[in-house]
Structure 1
Amino acid sequence: MNVTIRKIGNSEGVIIPKELLEQLGVQAGDELDIRVEHDRIYLEPVDKDFARQMRAAFLCMEKYKVALKKLADS
């Protein structure tokens, strides 16, 4: 399946065909994670629960970073 890069405002993008969106289980407004590996672009739906848990863990680690460093060094 081929798509064309199009001008969208000040950016450029592609229109993802409905069939592919259905395969991913996503729709307009959902978030996708995008990454490039070995000259390929990968799109994956964002797991909102996991993202929320990671934000909470990061905040906790920032709050207690001195204590965590001391624990790691002992």
Structure 2
Amino acid sequence: MKERSKPEADGATVLQIRKIGNSLGLILPKELLAQLGFSEGDQLEVVRQPEGGVKLQRHDDQHARAMAIARQVMKDYANTMRELAK
């Protein structure tokens, strides 16, 4: 089975999910990695988008810790946040 990684008419790159050991994964072509500014060893976060797509972004430990704190504050003060939103 040949993997397609050529650009389609709309400029999108088509990738195929492949079995890698006991997992499934995507192989990203070097050209695409270079265009995106990613390289081997980079840690990426997958962010689900409201329209159903996904966004890849570089993992940032400081940002992840700040978001965890923000989520906890919103959970602890849910009633207060709800009142403030009125």
Residue identity in the other structure for 2:37: G
Q: TM-score, normalised by structure 1?
A: 0.57
Taking only aligned residues, the RMSD between alpha carbons, in angstroms, comes to: 3.1
Higher relative contact order (CA 8 A, sep 6+): 1
* Gap runs ≥5 in structure 2: 1-5, 7-13
Measured in 1, the distance between the counterparts of 2:15 and 2:85 equals 49
Structure that is richer in strand per residue: 1
CA 1:8–1:53 in 2, change beyond 3 Å: closer, same or farther? Answer: same
Matches within 5 A, 1:34-53: 35=48, 42-46=54-58, 48=60, 50-53=63-66
Structure that is richer in helix per residue: 1
Identity of aligned residues (%): 38
Measured in 2, the distance between the counterparts of 1:70 and 1:3 equals 46
Q: TM-score, normalised by structure 2?
A: 0.52
Indicate whether 1:23 and 2:23 are aligned: no
Q: Using the TM superposition, give the Cα deviation of residue 33 of structure 1 relative to its aligned residue in structure 2, in angstroms.
A: 1.4
